[in-house]
Structure 1
Amino acid sequence: MSQTDDPEHTGGSHPAQEPTTDVPAAANTGIGEDEQNTVTDSSPGQPTDANPPSGQESRPGTPPAGDAPKDAPAGTAAETAATQDNTDSSGIKPQSADATTAIPGGSEAATVVIPNAEAATAAIPTGSPAAPGTPSNVPAGSPNTPGTPSGAPESASAPAADAPTTFVPATPVAPPTKIAAATTGTSVPGPGRTTWLLVGAAILIVVIAVGAVFLGRSGSGGSGSAHESTTPAVPAAAIAVPDTANPINPSVPITVTASGGHLTAVTATTPDGKPLAGTLSPDGKTWTNTDSLAFSSAYTIVADAVNSAGAHTKQNFTVNTMSADNVSTAYANVVPAPDVVSDTGIGVGQPMVFQFTKPVANKAEVQKHLHVTVTPAQPGAWYWVDDKDVHYRAATYWQPGTKIHIEADVVGLDLGNGVLGAENNSADYTVHDSWVAKADGSTDELTIFQNGKQVNQMPMSLGSPGFPSHEGPHVISAKQPSIVMDSCSYGTCAGSPGYYRETVLLDERISNDGEFVHSAPWSVGQQGSSNVSHGCVNLSPANAQWFYDHFGIGDVVEITNSGGPSLPVWDTYGDWEVPWQTWQAGNANS
């Protein structure tokens, strides 16, 4: 998994500016500029007095043996004694390898140990003011000495002209801070006390500078563990497919979900390797199949998701559906069969039909899973004509050129009484030109209209008074060039009066109880003058041929003034006999 890019680290490693403390080169020394320039090249161990008293061994910066000079500050002997405690066996204090500041007035340099000075440089000149805390019996007039009597001579604070002045840069050392005075074993003259004051001041400045460095580092969020901030890793996106442990009902869609991120791709395949279509939600959190599932099938799902850091998670799943071996199923067939009308289209009177192979008890629930798309849009509704057939029609005949798509998403759906939908089904239709034939029993004429315009008229004969034709709109449900008609199909069998069985040509069915429009050469003499059929619309062979060539499935034959009852809704197709208000209200719950 990829790591997120760290934001700019506030505790970065930018170094704090190292402070440099400059100490005045010869503050309050009383030495003139020329004098300062003449003593800077003096080396320790070299005589500073060109003419030492005879018979006396002189050491640089050390007064002759005997009493201290009158201008030497009281207390130098105590200071010398204090430093002697820190000398080695040779009487010389060991030099520190760290920060060394040369202090004039003795043959040995004082050692100053400064913690973590970080290359801060202090220039310590000789003759600097006396350090704070000088004893009160120091001769009056010593510069910068607290408690000095106002009447003391000024010469007490003046450094010896021959005292060497050495500038040595301090180097970084570890704690503790320790100051060792010159280990001469003799008293330090007055100018040495001034030097001690400068040493103390230099140490204080360096310590303050070092502290500022540490404070600067702390304030800038240094890289120390106490100040480190780490960004937690972004968790990987999680992908889940419910119900993978047990076979699912195919009516339940496969749903892939992502948490801690969003889905970037989902691929689903059927058992035979074909793609299973699906759709991704706008937020990328959910994918659901749109193609229908089937019983006894295994579907492979490959999903990819990404988290907010851009890290991808990929997982494979297998989803199984339940077997149909031990359940009762029913199919939802469409009427008419789409392949039958694929070339010709359907007439304006054709209702949309799902015909189940077993009775449906849960009509209201099933109807929720039936879908229709009509282009251009026209109001329509479902209506159950019986327990197996549900029809959809508009308020009036379809507009010519209308495209209709119907779906029954019922696979695995509980149809009632332990019956499940066997599979989903769908169909597409296109409405051709409007062809409507109006058969008037009072005139025995059949008038033909195409898209509302009359294009033909021919004589005809309807059912006799004993076998009157049903009144109302009839829809052609099938057509055949010839069929064998047997009166036994409606109860008049062989041996009974009126029985017949013969081959009839150019037949188009307009109801399911035996009504057709067909060629009837035997009744040409009555056509246009009387009704002599068993309920069919008789035409001459020539007129029957014309009619057969122009009318097809879904076209309408409206029969009026026949003296017969209205065509029942169940008698393929009596749909248009039901008033629109009644049809639209539906009957799924009745």
Structure 2
Amino acid sequence: MEPEVPSRRPGRMKKILVVAAVCLLAAVGGVFAAVAPDIARSTIESEASSSVRTTPGIAAPVVAPVTFDAAPANGAKQVNPAAPVSLKVSNGTIERVTLTSTGGETVEGAIDSQGTGWTAAGPLKFNTDYSYTYVVKDGAGRETSTTQSFSTVSSSHEADAAIYPLDGMKVGVGQPLQVIFSEPVVNREAVEKAITITSSAGQTGAFHWHSDTMVRYRPENFWAANSTIAMDMKLFGVDLGNGQIANFNKKVNISIGDKKVAVADSAAHTFTLSVNDQVIKTLPVSMGDQRFPSARGYGVLMEKKRYDHFRASSIGLKPDDPAYYGDVDVEYTIRLTLSGAYIHQALESAYPFIGNANVSHGCIGFAPDGAAWVFDNMGTGDVVQIVNTEGDYAAHDDGFGDWNIPWSEYDN
């Protein structure tokens, strides 16, 4: 007789299976065993859809990738050195940034308080290659390093300028302010906006372009006597046009002296100087003859020399010309025009004509004592007005003929 096998109760079997299932779940991962009662309420991405896995077989929360916007762009060429160099990130933070030239010079910068932006603190250099490396951290704490490169405007597109008067000079009331650019200027308005000019007397003025490279500035009337003028030129990085970029910022401060305005009368053969509107001296002179009449209008005195050398060939005269005077040494010269009009001591052969007739080649000639007095009492920026001459106006840019341009035309 076979032994009797105890019967299995269905209810007990189900209980055993449930316990086994719970144990199995605990065996699969201890992490879940502690929260088994809340499994139904957990929201965990499936392993297949997760981009991050911290433990094999277990899915971690999805971390959005870091995005960034770096300027200049990688590989950029002809970058304006004044253009901002910056980095902006989303879904992460900036850990560190290094901006260096190929020569090893580092450009400093700062990360903002949120850690999501960086900006270079200073301008770049022209004709330079730069390496731009930045390290960013994502939401999972992982760091990523990226290196880009770019190069700035080449020397062929770098524009300089010469400014006159020079910083610290003292000049007369008639001296216009002048900037001559090394390259043609197309964007004139941008240049004018980048230059601020202030007068201690409160005078305002206007820019006038004599060419595509030369601009001058003057007030409607002469500068106020004994005032000061400040020029603040923030031209670094200004686009002049045609890809030419200005390469400088500069401040210039000049002093204006007494108001000295002389009237040279070709008909009366006199030269009368007024200082601060008071006549102080009248001297006899000889001016340009009928063939070479002195230019009419206002002239502004330029450089002066105690001794100078004149050549007839410089004004187109040849040895067979009756007016040819060869090469001569001259004293007490003050230039009026670039083309060769001067105040100076007349040649000895002209002494008998001083105060009586005009025999010069357009210059204003004095006797020795008169030439010495004018040389000692007048200088750069002082004004000479030539009247009663048959000569035409000199070209406005043949020296500083700006005061011969009506204000309505100058301020245009």
Normalised-by-shorter TM-score class: 0.5 to 0.7
Which of 393, 396, 408 does residue 581 from structure 1 map onto?
408
Structure with greater contact order relative to length (CA < 8 Å, sep ≥ 6): 2
**Contact conserved, 1:251 with 1:410, CA < 8 A, in 2?**
no
**Contact conserved, 1:293 with 1:411, CA < 8 A, in 2?**
no
The reply to whether residue 548 of structure 1 matches residue 375 of structure 2 is yes
Give the equivalent residue in structure 2 for 1:322.
152
Secondary structure at 1:406's aligned position in 2? strand
Q: Could you tell me how far apart the structure 1 residues matched to 2:159 and 2:71 are?
A: 27
**Contact conserved, 1:294 with 1:321, CA < 8 A, in 2?**
no
Quote the offset at 1:486 in angstroms.
Answer: 1.2
Give the equivalent residue in structure 1 for 2:341.
515
Quote the offset at 1:493 in angstroms.
Answer: 2.7
**Contact conserved, 1:441 with 1:559, CA < 8 A, in 2?**
yes
Closer, same or farther in 2 for the Cα pair 1:257/1:543, shift >3 Å?
Answer: farther
Closer, same or farther in 2 for the Cα pair 1:320/1:375, shift >3 Å?
Answer: farther
Which of 527, 549, 554 does residue 354 from structure 2 map onto?
527
- Please give the root-mean-square deviation of Cα atoms over the aligned residues, in Å: 3.7
**Contact conserved, 2:201 with 2:227, CA < 8 A, in 1?**
yes
Q: Could you tell me how far apart the structure 1 residues matched to 2:196 and 2:183 are?
A: 20
Closer, same or farther in 2 for the Cα pair 1:531/1:361, shift >3 Å?
Answer: same
* Larger radius of gyration between Structure 1 and Structure 2: 1
**Contact conserved, 2:210 with 2:216, CA < 8 A, in 1?**
yes
Closer, same or farther in 2 for the Cα pair 1:525/1:253, shift >3 Å?
Answer: farther
Q: Could you tell me how far apart the structure 2 residues matched to 1:533 and 1:434 are?
A: 28
Q: Could you tell me how far apart the structure 2 residues matched to 1:546 and 1:241 are?
A: 67
Closer, same or farther in 2 for the Cα pair 1:421/1:444, shift >3 Å?
Answer: same
Closer, same or farther in 2 for the Cα pair 1:468/1:258, shift >3 Å?
Answer: farther
The reply to whether residue 428 of structure 1 matches residue 247 of structure 2 is no
Closer, same or farther in 2 for the Cα pair 1:320/1:524, shift >3 Å?
Answer: farther
The code of the aligned residue for 1:461 comes to S
Give the equivalent residue in structure 2 for 1:249.
80
1:442-494 deviations in whole A, cap 9, x for unaligned? 21111111111111111111101110111111001211122211121121133
Give the equivalent residue in structure 2 for 1:488.
313
Task: Give me the TM-score of the superposition, normalised by structure 2.
Answer: 0.66
Q: Could you tell me how far apart the structure 1 residues matched to 2:123 and 2:276 are?
A: 39
Secondary structure at 1:465's aligned position in 2? coil
Q: Could you tell me how far apart the structure 2 residues matched to 1:573 and 1:540 are?
A: 26
Secondary structure at 2:343's aligned position in 1? strand
Q: Could you tell me how far apart the structure 1 residues matched to 2:387 and 2:278 are?
A: 19
Secondary structure at 2:353's aligned position in 1? coil
Closer, same or farther in 2 for the Cα pair 1:420/1:456, shift >3 Å?
Answer: same
Secondary structure at 1:576's aligned position in 2? helix
Quote the offset at 1:351 in angstroms.
Answer: 0.2
Quote the offset at 1:439 in angstroms.
Answer: 0.7
**Contact conserved, 2:80 with 2:245, CA < 8 A, in 1?**
no
The reply to whether residue 363 of structure 1 matches residue 188 of structure 2 is yes
Which of 228, 232, 239 does residue 414 from structure 1 map onto?
239
**Contact conserved, 1:250 with 1:295, CA < 8 A, in 2?**
yes
Q: Structure 1 unaligned runs (5+)?
A: 1-239, 260-267, 277-284, 300-317, 586-590
Give the equivalent residue in structure 2 for 1:398.
223
Q: Could you tell me how far apart the structure 2 residues matched to 1:420 and 1:337 are?
A: 22
Give the equivalent residue in structure 2 for 1:334.
163
Closer, same or farther in 2 for the Cα pair 1:457/1:298, shift >3 Å?
Answer: farther
Q: Identity over aligned residues, as a percent?
A: 30
Q: Could you tell me how far apart the structure 2 residues matched to 1:442 and 1:509 are?
A: 22
Closer, same or farther in 2 for the Cα pair 1:490/1:298, shift >3 Å?
Answer: same
**Contact conserved, 2:171 with 2:254, CA < 8 A, in 1?**
yes
Give the equivalent residue in structure 1 for 2:33.
none
Task: Give me the TM-score of the superposition, normalised by structure 1.
Answer: 0.47
Q: Could you tell me how far apart the structure 2 residues matched to 1:435 and 1:275 are?
A: 51
Q: Could you tell me how far apart the structure 1 residues matched to 2:366 and 2:106 are?
A: 53
1:125-173 deviations in whole A, cap 9, x for unaligned? xxxxxxxxxxxxxxxxxxxxxxxxxxxxxxxxxxxxxxxxxxxxxxxxx
Quote the offset at 1:524 in angstroms.
Answer: 2.2
Quote the offset at 1:416 in angstroms.
Answer: 2.8
Closer, same or farther in 2 for the Cα pair 1:288/1:518, shift >3 Å?
Answer: farther
Give the equivalent residue in structure 1 for 2:331.
505
The code of the aligned residue for 2:408 comes to Q
Quote the offset at 1:364 in angstroms.
Answer: 3.2
Q: Could you tell me how far apart the structure 1 residues matched to 2:226 and 2:410 are?
A: 24
**Contact conserved, 1:249 with 1:321, CA < 8 A, in 2?**
no
Q: Could you tell me how far apart the structure 2 residues matched to 1:241 and 1:403 are?
A: 45
Secondary structure at 2:171's aligned position in 1? coil
Quote the offset at 1:329 in angstroms.
Answer: 2.7
For residues 66-105 of structure 1, the aligned pairs below 5 Å read none
**Contact conserved, 2:198 with 2:204, CA < 8 A, in 1?**
no
The code of the aligned residue for 1:322 comes to T
Q: Could you tell me how far apart the structure 2 residues matched to 1:470 and 1:254 are?
A: 54
For residues 243-282 of structure 1, the aligned pairs below 5 Å read 243=72, 248-253=79-84
Secondary structure at 2:319's aligned position in 1? coil
The code of the aligned residue for 2:383 comes to V
Quote the offset at 1:580 in angstroms.
Answer: 0.8
Secondary structure at 1:513's aligned position in 2? coil
Closer, same or farther in 2 for the Cα pair 1:334/1:321, shift >3 Å?
Answer: farther
Q: Structure 2 unaligned runs (5+)?
A: 1-68, 91-98, 109-116, 131-147
Quote the offset at 1:297 in angstroms.
Answer: 6.1
Closer, same or farther in 2 for the Cα pair 1:294/1:350, shift >3 Å?
Answer: farther
1:259-297 deviations in whole A, cap 9, x for unaligned? 9xxxxxxxx999999999xxxxxxxx99997x8754146
Aligned length: 313
**Contact conserved, 1:333 with 1:425, CA < 8 A, in 2?**
no
Which of 384, 392, 396 does residue 565 from structure 1 map onto?
392
The code of the aligned residue for 2:391 comes to G
